[in-house]
Amino acid sequence: MKLLHHTRRPIWIYATVVLLLSIPAYYLVLRTVWLADIDEDLVVIKHKVQRGIHAGQPSEEALAEAIRWINAIEAGVQLRALPPDSVVEERFHTVERYDDLHGHEEPFRTYESMIVLNGSPYAITVTRVIEETEDLVTAIAIVALVSLVLLLGGVMVFDHVTARRIWAPFHRLLDALKRFQVDGPMPFKATPTGVTEFDELERVVEQLTQRNRTIYAEQQRFTENAAHELRTPIALLQGKVESLFQTSDLTTEQAGLLDEANRLLGRMRRTHDGLLMLAHVDNMPVRPDVTCDPRAIVRSLLDHTQEHIASLGLSVSFEMGLPVQWPMEPGMAEILLGNLVNNAIRHSVPGGSIRIRLSGTLFTIANNGTDKPLDPESLFKRFSGSGKGLGLGLAIAQRVCERQGWSLRYVFEGGMHGFSVQPSTAG
């Protein structure tokens, strides 16, 4: 979940709850106020009727006549004589009733009370259609609701736009860091954002990457110098040993010792070369824009090792599939495939077979060797070989894949030890 969502979610939830609660609350409050208003009116009408009749001081007959008239015109006031000493509780209520005027059921607000006319109690019912008022309340509630939704929505939109603007430098920095390569040609450069926090972050990142670049360059220089300084004495030593071989009075014992020294020198040279190769792989820039043809590389590797393979009595099959390009620098691909091919040759049993396959971009190489599967954990570690080699080949191959973001897997299937290289589409 994005950081923005973390801050927005509680706000959204709160706003929605308030909005949902406010709709009935708004309606109820408005309706209550309106009804109270109407009820007040009804009471006023009652008082007007009472006062009006009092003012006329009518006779009993005139009063009866007036009440008959009032009831007959159905103007919302009904009077009914009550037995003496009756008491009527005041009460307001709403009823649904057929209305002649509108021709359908309408809600009516009714006020029931009692008045005393000429000393006699009368029940009075004041009634009023409240349909229009209901409509009004609804309309007002809707307008209020729409405003509220607009307000809230507006706030969200503005918040989103502002957040995007504010976070833009962050995303820019993230992109720059993704592209950053410690051995790349371009160092990371801080760009002013106008936001104090981001400016500081950019500055810190710039310093950090600059330091990394410096350390990396120094390491590379050291490796190269060390490689050169080691090669020369090894070369001198080898020259001496090989010159000693040419001396005429060499005894068998001395020759044996020299031969051993020569082999050790060879091992030293190969270890040195292997370590240097690892350093090289680290040094080689990853260039996703460069491609190579793995089929051609494998073919040339097999050409070079042909005699060695033949002399070991190995049978090699190469299913090369359709033409394909790998998004990898050819030098890197040669190192990767070369180490895998050499590894397969070294560990195959005499008269065994090596199967190489390219299907799509997937490369697999398998050889029959020991019957048991190997430990995939230690397989790729440096100097963890079976004693047959230096144990650097697979480490180098894996490093190439790591640098490229590809995967190199070990599979043991049908008695065959296999390695598969799956190039990632991203390069």
Partner 1 sequence: MDRGTLSGVMNVLIVEDERSLADDMKAYLDGSGTRCAIAGSVRDALDRILDNPFDCVVLDLNLPDGNGLDVLRELKRMGRTDGVVIVSAKDALDDRLEGLRIGADDYIVKPFHLAELAVRIQATVRRAHFAGHDRLHFDELEIDLPAHTAIVHGVPVPLTPTEFRLLRLLTASRDRVLPRSVISDHLAGDTDDDRAQELVYAHMKNLKRKLSEAGCADRIRTVHGVGYRFTTQA
Q: Which residues bind partner 1 (CB under 8 A)?
A: 224, 227-228, 231-232, 234-240, 242-243, 245-246, 250, 252-253, 255-256, 258-259, 262-263, 265-267, 269-270, 273, 276, 304-305, 307-308, 310-312, 331, 342, 345-346, 350, 388-390
CB of 417 to partner 1, least distance (A): 16
Comparing CB distances to partner 1, the nearer of 209 and 305 is: 305
Comparing CB distances to partner 1, the nearer of 129 and 234 is: 234
Comparing CB distances to partner 1, the nearer of 226 and 320 is: 226
CB of 261 to partner 1, least distance (A): 10
Comparing CB distances to partner 1, the nearer of 80 and 263 is: 263
CA distance 48 to 258: 136
CA distance 399 to 387: 21
Comparing CB distances to partner 1, the nearer of 166 and 227 is: 227
CB of 395 to partner 1, least distance (A): 14
Give the DSSP letter of residue 114. Answer: E
Comparing CB distances to partner 1, the nearer of 129 and 265 is: 265
Who contacts 191 (Cβ-Cβ below 8 Å, separation ≥6)? Answer: 169, 172, 202
- In a 3-state reduction of DSSP, which class is residue 245? helix
CA distance 248 to 116: 154
CB of 299 to partner 1, least distance (A): 17
CB of 396 to partner 1, least distance (A): 14
Cβ(366)–Cβ(409) below 8 Å: no
For the record, the structure tokens of 138 come out as 């609804």
C-alpha distance from residue 223 to each of 219, 280, 334, 339, 361 (Å):
6, 9, 22, 21, 33
As separate numbers, helices (DSSP H) first and strands (DSSP E) second, the chain gives 9, 9
Cβ(400)–Cβ(280) below 8 Å: no
CB of 268 to partner 1, least distance (A): 9
